[in-house]
Amino acid sequence: MAKLKVALYWAASCGGCEIATLQIGDKVLKLIEAADIVFWPVAVDTKYADVEKMPDKSIDACLFNGAIRTSENEHIAKLLRAKSKIMIAYGSCAYEGCIPGLSNFYNRQMTFERAYIETPSTDNPKKILPQTKVKVPEGELEIPEFYDTVKTLGQTVDVDYFIPGCPPEEKSTWLALEALITGKLPPKGTVISPSTKAVCDECPRKKEEKKIKKFYRPYEIIPEPEKCLLEQGLLCYGVATRGGCGALCPQANMPCTGCYGPVDGVIDQGAHFLSALSSIIDSNDPEEIQKIVNDIPDPAGTFYRYSLPASLLRRARIK
């Protein structure tokens, strides 16, 4: 059997997905046995120009991590889509926009002004901002255009599969690679993870009745070691988050923050969590409910911590 041709790419991301890919450890050998890595900027000496020369659909699968933030990110996403039979959004940034997607609460101008003018360490009396094209004495310099809005890979090109997580845990990565190697591929659009259910399903903490009179911030209480964190008033996102990570954060006494995205069948993770919350608040009095909810300081930024660009909200409207 001919070896598979696999490409890996990063767009607007932190590099954690590259580290996560390497976490498959010894299984890297199995991967290399079955597949040639034809493009991976961190590790393989193939140039962008070489990819351009490849015939369309000549790459069997592309694992693409990172969100779409600049003109360069978009350009490469479109190129790799054209060259690849299967396009996989690897990790939360490509899948949902992730934490850098919180940038959609603001716009380019606000981001630039903060970074290059307003920050207290910045000394920029002429208020210089980066420009896509700049004339210097020796010639012209170019940098990619920075977009107003962070987009997911799926909002930019057609995506076949999604691998959740910030970053994906080893099991999730291997599940996808194994499917590629064996050719036993799930239906298009599948979110590939060891679990289709919520993090709660794999969390060892004891769950009883969820009735909450008050929400606490994580620094305000020391939670009981074995009891469900949400039942103790911590905003643990496990109820609205896909499992597959093994409930790592709750086992370190910290609430799940939602990095694996929504469970199967849910489009908007934030709305799902909100509906879960409303059913556990222990009150029928609208004023009291309001008071309880007011303890949550940043509902939008918390409920959409990883999924704002992919959500029904997508971005804040800036007046």
Residues in 266-305 that interact with other proteins by CB under 8 A: 297-298, 301-302, 305
Q: Toward other proteins, which CB reaches closer, 19 or 280?
A: 19
Residue in the structure block whose two tokens are 């299984």: 27
By the rule CB under 8 A, 29 interacts with other proteins: no
Count the Cβ atoms, other than its own, within 10 Å of residue 161. 23
Backbone angles phi, psi at 6, to 5 degrees: -120, 140
By the rule CB under 8 A, 96 interacts with other proteins: no
Q: Which two tokens stand for residue 245?
A: 């990570």
Q: Residue-wise over 110-138: b if at least 16 C-beta within 10 A, else e?
A: eeeeeeeeeeeeeeeeeeeeeeeeeeeee
Q: How far is the CB of 1 from other proteins (least distance, A)?
A: 26
Instruction: Choose the stretch contacting other proteins; rule: CB under 8 A; options: 179-187, 195-203, 213-221, 261-269.
Output: 213-221
Instruction: Choose the stretch contacting other proteins; rule: CB under 8 A; options: 82-90, 117-125, 183-191, 207-215.
Output: 117-125
Q: Toward other proteins, which CB reaches closer, 130 or 189?
A: 130
By the rule CB under 8 A, 204 interacts with other proteins: no
State which of residues 28, 29, 32, 115 lies at the interface with other proteins (CB under 8 A).
115
Q: How far is the CB of 182 from other proteins (least distance, A)?
A: 26
By the rule CB under 8 A, 131 interacts with other proteins: yes
Q: Cα separation of 32 and 20, whole Å?
A: 17
By the rule CB under 8 A, 78 interacts with other proteins: no
By the rule CB under 8 A, 44 interacts with other proteins: yes
Q: How far is the CB of 314 from other proteins (least distance, A)?
A: 15
Which DSSP string do the residues of 197-229 spell out, in sequence order?
SBGGGG--SB-----BS--B-TTT----SSB-T
Q: Cα separation of 77 and 98, whole Å?
A: 17
- How many residues interact with other proteins (rule CB under 8 A)? 79
By the rule CB under 8 A, 15 interacts with other proteins: yes
Backbone angles phi, psi at 4, to 5 degrees: -70, 150
Q: Toward other proteins, which CB reaches closer, 106 or 190?
A: 106
Distance of CA 119 to the CA centre of its chain: 27
